[in-house]
Amino acid sequence: MRINHNFSFTQRLFVLLLFAGALGAQAQKESSRSLAAEVDKLNWEGIDLSNDARYSQAAERFQKAITLDDTRAARSYHNIGYTYELAGDKNKALDSYQKAVARNPQQTITWQSLGKLQYQMGLYKDAVMSGENVLKLDPKNVPVQKWLPDAYAKLAEQKMYDARNDLSGTPEDNPNCEARPDVIAEIGAHFTAIGVIDKRATALSYYQPQGLARSVAGMYAEFHPLRELSFRLDGKTPYFGVLQPNFFAGQENIEVQYNFKKFFFGAGILFTQLNIDNSIVPGETTSFVQNTEYTTLSDTKFGLFIGSQDALTYFALKVYPRYLFRGPISGPKGNSLDTVKIDLEYRHNLRLSLGSTIDENQPISKGPFTDFIFKVSIDEIYLTEFKPVSGTDALGHYFGTYDISMGMEFGKLQRAFDKIGFTYGFLLTERLYFQNIMNTDTTSFGNGQGYFGFNTQDLTSGNPFSSFRNSSFIITLFSAQMFRNRYILREKIFFESTPGNERSHALGVQIAFGLRF
């Protein structure tokens, strides 16, 4: 049979296009096979590196595989999630597993790994959903049956816990809100070990105040019988600073607070005890006290405080003022004590979350908690010796410690189901020391005692704050944990650095235990 080879131009063009298309399809198929082979190669390399604990290099292989072929990314995301899980980074592992099932909802092994990780992280609602997806794809799956029943039980417990402890809303629409605070009471104790570092002798000595325990320690208790009413009791041997005499024997504080919506106010009593026997100003060698027969002194002080608190901001101002502005210049021989204590604290939750995105629809009470902290603390001691020596009516001694602090706190100790509360932070403090001793002018304003050491007599000489001794810089690191929503452990470490012309630094470690009801 004779074949006619006389094709028209159109027919020839059609044959050429058909042939070219076949070649392109074949090339695309070969390219796809090559790409798949490369992706498989990268995945196996990443698995081998993971088994060798070379996690960062393994993650690079898996990430390259994801970039090469997004259609096969589900497997790669599963592998990178597994790598992060081996490395201990649960948040990144969780994110990778979620990306894997989003790209391939039929990938059973990823639902299985995702659900188990959610269960381990206490995300019981999500774990139950992932476990159910596994059983839909593989009803006989054995690994998921090991943790899914307990996830169901924990989810039920969590729902009941949340229902009992939901304090949102008002008493009209939520019975839990009716006159019931979140914490009924908290009691605890704290102990601080302070070492004084002698810069000249390169020696470390233990700081010992004049209290019974000869240590900086104390106990506290808070009671909240109603949402509107709070009581606080605090007893301790305070630390006045490394450049002040260690004459503190004790200090107790009782306060009553009334809460009205976001505002609060109250009153308190402050008791202070000093033992000035052989009391020496750091850097000196002899005691400044003349009346050695009257060395145990006490002061009782009444004070007021006000403040406000909402979901984001906390502010409080406490003032225990000086009463004996002027001691009498005549009278029997003896000593008197007057104290001043002023505390200001401001906190604002910046709602920062490192490494994750904040859900703006989530209630503020659920976090994140990242507080900016600003504090001002003033502690002053006024000692007056009457008839200390022959021919002298009175001598005044003044010691003041002013602290200005800024810092951050991350986290919050609040009740949560099946979780350990954790918070940590830091404070940077500039401390100002004021001292004025052996002052025979006890009646004049601006005599160098109080008011930042203001002295009118030295005003014209260019030294209006002549009682200022020096400053120091303090770095404080702190943390706290709450176990089973009741047991609290707090830790603090600080270092106080003084200028070169002073002899001592200070290093302190504090540990505290508390119990909430």
| Percent helix / strand / coil, the chain, rounded to 5 | 30, 40, 35
| pLDDT for res 17 | 44
Nearest to 271 by CA among 234, 308, 315, 227: 234
CB–CB of 446/466 below 8 Å?
Answer: no
**Which residues of the chain fall short of a pLDDT of 70?**
1-33, 35, 68-72, 161-183, 324-334, 353-367, 390-391, 415-419, 459-460
All domains of the chain in start order, with CATH = 9-164 (1.25.40.10), 181-352+366-516 (2.40.160)
**Is the preceding peptide bond at 225 cis, omega within 30 degrees of 0?**
no
What does the block give as tokens for 107?
A: 């990938």
pLDDT given at position 418: 61
Spatial separation of the C-alpha atoms in residues 232 and 305, rounded to whole Å: 13
Judged by phi (left if over 0) then psi (alpha if -120 to 50, else beta), residue 352 lies in: beta
C-alpha to C-alpha distance for 386 and 393, rounded to whole angstroms: 6
Backbone angles phi, psi at 195, to 5 degrees: -105, 135
Q: What is the pLDDT of residue 32?
A: 54
pTM above 0.75, yes or no: no
Under a CB-based contact definition with an 8 Å cutoff, are residues 58 and 46 in contact? Answer: yes
Per-residue pLDDT tens over the stretch 143-159 = 888 888 888 888 887 77
CA angle 510, 516, 517 (to 5 degrees): 165
CB of 432 closer than 8 Å to CB of 380: no
Considering just the CA atoms, what is the radius of gyration of the chain in Å? 35
Cα–Cα distance list, 354 to 91, 311, 358, 374, 410 (Å): 12, 20, 10, 21, 10
For residues 429 and 474, the answer to whether their CB atoms sit within 8 Å is yes
Largest CA distance in the chain: 149
Q: Can you give the pLDDT at residue 147?
A: 86
Residue 101: phi, psi to the nearest 5?
A: -70, -25
